[in-house]
Chains A and B, each alone.
Chain A
Amino acid sequence: MSLDVHGARILFQFGPVMITETVVNTWIVMAVIVGLCLFLTSDLQVHCRSKRQIIAEFIVKKVNAMVGENMGEHFLEVGYAPLICSIMGLSALCSLSSMVGMYAPTSDLSTLLGWSLMVFVLITYNKFRAGGPLGYIKGYFEPIPVLLPFNIISEFATPLSMAFRHFGNIASGSVITGLIYAALAAASHALFSLIPGAVGQVLGQIPILQVGIPAIFSIYFDLFSSCLQAFIFCMLTMMYIGSAAEG
């Protein structure tokens, strides 16, 4: 029984810059998304006739409705809908890429910390815009000045907890999938070695139980969890930015 849990492998190294699996896989996912966008939006017509235009319109309408509902109409006009949609698409496809055997970029903490850093910048920008520099500093002394250290901690805890949540969910899925594979290999070895003679020895070496059974768990850990975490990351982004702008 062998269990192999590892981080992103380093593929190339240019001096101090290391190109890991995460970077390469993220670029692959980005290329897939660009290809998907080009495919869905090619040959658009006023009266929609093709299936792919229906899909494209459905996505745009859904995201616009979500942003308008959770952040307010103002953010829809400024153009936050494409940002939210691209975060969601990137997050979902990055997590789903583990289904084709790639190393999911979202099971690397660096990716999520990068995304949540972007969200942190947007939150701070919106706070500045809503209340000005003075209002931003005043926000740290509310409701009473004694709470200043806690307010500073909670300011940094927001992006950190977002990153850790997404990372933890995807990484725990891959750890549990690895455990299931290792346990099934051990179980099938123990089970089929009971068959006497050469047949049992041959069958005992092949992990037969690994066929099919992990797929049931994969539905939850890969399909459901990936899409749910993408949705939750976007919802939290929208809510934090929306509430920052309210002041």
Chain B
Amino acid sequence: MNEQLWTKAIVMGSSAIGAGLAMIAGIGPGIGEGYAVGKACEAIGRQPECKGTVQSTMLLGCAVAETTGIYGFIVALLLMFANPFIGKL
């Protein structure tokens, strides 16, 4: 009984660390989106009449760039709330 408890504790602790590590994926989209928005600001500054097009294109690009971060988030969510490893004990 005690041993089983230890195993579960180790699996849960490792899952929590794994969830934290998965969220490191958030760095990439952060940098990428910041770069995209900076460039969009430059473009609007140069050609203010294109503001609408630049804005919608930038939002679309940001959403696509966000995907990798979202994948990391989903992995973290799975590890935290729908852990596949605990069921295998």
A161 touching B60 by the CB < 8 A rule? no
Please report the C-alpha to C-alpha distance between residue A240 and residue B81 in the assembled complex, in whole angstroms: 33
CB closest chain-A residue, reference B82:
A7
Majority SS of interface residues in chain B?
Answer: helix
Q: Which of these, A171, A172, A232, contacts B59 with CB under 8 Å?
A: A232
Closest 7 CB pairs of A and B: A168-B70, A232-B63, A168-B73, A235-B60, A161-B67, A5-B81, A165-B67
Of the A-B pairs whose beta carbons lie under 8 Å apart in the complex, a sample of 9, sorted by A's number, is A5-B81, A164-B67, A164-B70, A165-B67, A168-B70, A168-B71, A169-B66, A172-B73, A236-B64
With A5-B81, A171-B77, A175-B77 as contacts: A231 and B70 at CB distance below 8 Å: no
Please report the C-alpha to C-alpha distance between residue A5 and residue B67 in the assembled complex, in whole angstroms: 22
Please report the C-alpha to C-alpha distance between residue A219 and residue B77 in the assembled complex, in whole angstroms: 23
- Interface readout for B64-89 with A: 1 if CB under 8 Å, 0 if not? 10110011011001001100000000
B2 at the interface (CB under 8 A from A): no
- Interface readout for A165-190 with B: 1 if CB under 8 Å, 0 if not? 10111011001000000000000000
B47 at the interface (CB under 8 A from A): no
A235 touching B70 by the CB < 8 A rule? no
Please report the C-alpha to C-alpha distance between residue A171 and residue B75 in the assembled complex, in whole angstroms: 13
Please report the C-alpha to C-alpha distance between residue A168 and residue B81 in the assembled complex, in whole angstroms: 14
Please report the C-alpha to C-alpha distance between residue A228 and residue B77 in the assembled complex, in whole angstroms: 22
With A5-B81, A235-B56 as contacts: A165 and B63 at CB distance below 8 Å: yes
B59 touching A164 by the CB < 8 A rule? no
Chain A residues within an 8 Å CB radius of B73: 168, 171-172
User: A156 to nearest B CB, angstroms?
Assistant: 15
A165 touching B74 by the CB < 8 A rule? no
User: B51 to nearest A CB, angstroms?
Assistant: 16
Please report the C-alpha to C-alpha distance between residue A5 and residue B56 in the assembled complex, in whole angstroms: 33
User: B38 to nearest A CB, angstroms?
Assistant: 19
Please report the C-alpha to C-alpha distance between residue A201 and residue B80 in the assembled complex, in whole angstroms: 34
